[in-house]
Chains A and B, each alone.
Chain A
């Protein structure tokens, strides 16, 4: 009995804290599953043990077995705490989304429902195409537990729904609460740019540049935003500043990464020949540099097309 109690105690601790953790195929879980199975053999009508074993099966990336155990738990005790939550998570893992939504809806009705329950229902609803409802779920998850991936899911969905200002507000909230997480800042820059709120995008780039040792990428982004904003002269200045930074870096440390960056700066300024030269130099250093090879291929294809067009015009 002490063993069963300790099982239940440790299980309760895990259940309340480890709700929608991505499933883990951990060899050690087999040991825990075996222990619970032994306990069930002695007490086959213990619904809580079926719930526990179902949870362990899901952690072990065996959702079908997990669901079987949870169904048994439900048969024995339909009012078992957390049953709806675990059924919802398991059904979601099985991509049985309509049923998952029903169970997760029961789960979030509990005032103590964890953020993971809301998050999972949001993902289920998104897969079902119920986007507005999914957005509400992500917002609820963030209120309980703000974390970068939650903000990304929520912000991207809001933008997909045409609510770009809300998406921007979402990312701004995340930036203020998560210490300026760069993943959120990049998404915010994207949203503001696509919504033609160029000055807002530039503000974010300038904030990011302040804390960045290597500013070239940010300067190139700045150039792109200014170009999109119809400010070609400002865009040119940004790109020329990026080029100047690159030149200094190439002199100090002529690595293939710096050469590639300089090639991008040249390309942004329309200086195709110099970009091609840098890309070739980068590839001489590191022949496997796929990104450099891809850009070189693009530039050389453009060149070929241009030559063909000129030839045809003669």
Chain B
């Protein structure tokens, strides 16, 4: 996340909306009755001398010549802000400010800073600041180099004026430090022969516009105890979120006095699995919220068995009817039981992931979802045109608040480019196939291995953009495709994930829906199926039955791979992938559901048809009949195994709860303990 702060004070929402016409005011000693200019120079050569009444001001690093002693210029304009004639009102939006000097003795440029200590016309080298001379703590905020060219010199001081408008007491003027020994003199506010050559400050401002939402509130970085609420306004304001147990009881609040257009407010000290209602706005006026639509439910405690559901979307952000049809189809499908999470597998905002494209094709398109559901994204190649993981800049990183230090579970990645988080009994991992090093030994792969080793969750779901297996609009077997990204993820990342017990992999990029069998260790190029399909069934409870995996995380126990790049872009197919059970070139999205030891995924097309569905079940230890639960039937079977009456290999293996190669009394004790739990 990168926030931008603008030093503007705004109260215009209390007034009628005004037009944005510009007003220009100037401040020059003696002009129009103005008498607020203060200027002087500090002389190291004459440290006790005051120079506030001289007709010139100077800066020099060798004055007198050959001494190497400094001379430093000071200048300030007072009485700038207020409601008097010629003043800048507190409600203004300053668009530019220019300091104009008349240089009568040219020399080398000086560096302009804002003064951080008070001074007046009687100031000397000895009395400026707490110690003699100009120390580093006596000035702040470098503005840049002031030219020493002869004649009129204009210098941009907009940033200073904007800061001082927000805090007029901080207006202590400017300090101009010399850089070289060719000093500069300019006419002071006392110059009598030509008052027009005195220093002049020109400020252009407009009346403040009414505050409007540019991006409706959206939720980020949720944990059982915290969440971040974000929104964007058209002009800078301070920020406040009010929240509580009902829309009429928003009895808690968090605020931030910093003026900003991008607002990010973290809420902490929340309770797990609890619904809160909220509104957002400034400290004096809410802008949105206060209805049942503006709410969030914190995640349940880590490790809890759910149930929960997540919406999976990829390659959606084109603003076309297809995008909205996909969205609406899922909304109709879930009805009054909305999903708890929103995962986006990339290509969030076409064509290039610009800030405006994000605003239109993501934040606006999904605003009804985003105000109550956290989106966890991964970087696609289209937003990768303007967002860059190496610097974590661009609209993707500016808008999302993603964990980089294990804020939501897992281990610290050190970057928002890839991350992990826990929700209920699932460990989610968002990887970056777009623009980080994908080679063995890289930071991402090293982090991934450690992150998988550190989790105690029951399920692992990984997602990223470029699919390791696909024959849609992209061919994952082509090493030239996408700079080899698909091959890299397959050859370098999948071995780590599958050794760590991954259960489900979600990707996009290829504009198609593809869903694999339960597969493992298919790392070759081109991908081959023999020896890599763990379960060749359809995974459907009413068909061949769910894919069964052992309880907990088991290395190389099989995973299902889903390509969900069908969220809005036109679909296409280049072949049939040998690992895929089902392929469809229709727009749609997926609904993931997890309840205890059962994981389900449905593909919901844009016409509402559920065209695919599979389950993965991890029977608990002691589930002798492998029906997904632990009950009296399992006890009966266990007794049969214990007495040697049942020779079925599978039931015998499942009766060996402690994995010591035999079913005996110790396993009985574990079975009883599991039943009681």
Contacts and interface: CB of A to CB of B under 8 A. Distances in A.
Contact of B482 (A25, A254, A291): A25
A229 B389 CA distance: 39
Interface string B436-473: 11000111101100110111101000000000000000
Contact of A152 (B443, B480, B521): B443
A27 B435 CA distance: 16
B175 interface: no
A277 B481 contact: no
Contacts of A253: 458, 551-553, 621
Interface in B139-195: none
Interface string B305-336: 00000000000000000000000000000000
B454 A149 contact: no
B529 interface: no
A254 B621 contact: yes
B415 A288 contact: no
Interface string B591-630: 0000000000000000000000000000001000000000
B443 A256 contact: no
A74 interface: no
B380 to A, nearest CB: 11
A21 B388 contact: yes
B551 A24 contact: no
Nearest to A18: B388
Interface residues of B, number: 65
Given A22-B435, A152-B442, A258-B552, A182 B450 contact: yes
Q: Chain A CB within 10 Å — which of B391, B406, B435, B670 has the most?
A: B391
Interface stretch (B30-38, B284-292, B652-660): B652-660
B114 interface: no
B393 interface: yes
Nearest to A212: B454
A148 B414 contact: yes
B556 interface: yes
Interface string B624-647: 000000000000000000000000
A251 interface: yes
Contacts of A217: 450, 453-454
Interface string A1-25: 0000000000001100110111111
A104 B401 CA distance: 35
A251 B672 CA distance: 12
A298 B458 CA distance: 30
Contacts of B393: 17
A13 B670 CA distance: 63
A214 B435 contact: no
A4 B315 CA distance: 29
A223 interface: no
B554 interface: yes
Contacts of B340: none
Contact of A21 (B390, B442, B621, B659): B390
Contacts of B442: 149, 152
Contacts of B199: none
B524 to A, nearest CB: 14
B455 A214 contact: yes
Contacts of B658: 250-251, 254
B91 interface: no
Interface stretch (A46-54, A81-89, A173-181, A304-312): A173-181
A147 interface: yes
A243 interface: no
B367 interface: no
A24 B481 CA distance: 9
Given A179-B404, A257-B555, A286-B556, A26 B482 contact: yes
Q: Chain A CB within 10 Å — which of B437, B454, B456 has the most?
A: B454
A17 B414 CA distance: 21
Contacts of B555: 256-257, 260, 282, 286, 288-289, 291-292
Given A174-B414, A213-B455, A288 B660 contact: no
A25 B415 CA distance: 25
Nearest to B534: A288
B412 interface: yes
A211 B411 contact: yes
B501 interface: yes
Contact of A25 (B414, B483, B521): B483
B394 interface: yes
A47 B165 CA distance: 45
Contact of A26 (B381, B455, B621): B381
Interface in A281-313: 281-282, 284-286, 288-292
A257 B553 contact: yes
A182 B482 contact: no
Interface in A236-254: 249-251, 253-254
Contacts of B500: 257
B480 A255 contact: no
A102 B668 CA distance: 73
Given A24-B384, A147-B443, A281-B656, 20 more contacts: A17-B391, A17-B394, A24-B482, A25-B480, A25-B483, A26-B483, A28-B382, A61-B483, A115-B390, A116-B390, A179-B412, A181-B447, A182-B446, A182-B447, A183-B447, A211-B412, A254-B658, A277-B660, A282-B555, A284-B659
Give me the 6 closest cross-chain CB pairs, A-B, nearest first. Answer: A181-B414, A179-B405, A255-B552, A178-B414, A148-B443, A253-B552
16 contacts: A22-B435, A25-B481, A25-B484, A28-B382, A151-B443, A181-B447, A183-B413, A186-B446, A251-B670, A254-B551, A255-B553, A256-B554, A278-B659, A284-B653, A286-B555, A291-B555
Interface of B: 351, 381-382, 384-386, 388-394, 404-406, 411-415, 435-437, 441-444, 446-447, 450-451, 453-456, 458, 480-484, 499-501, 520-521, 534, 550-557, 621, 653, 656-661, 670
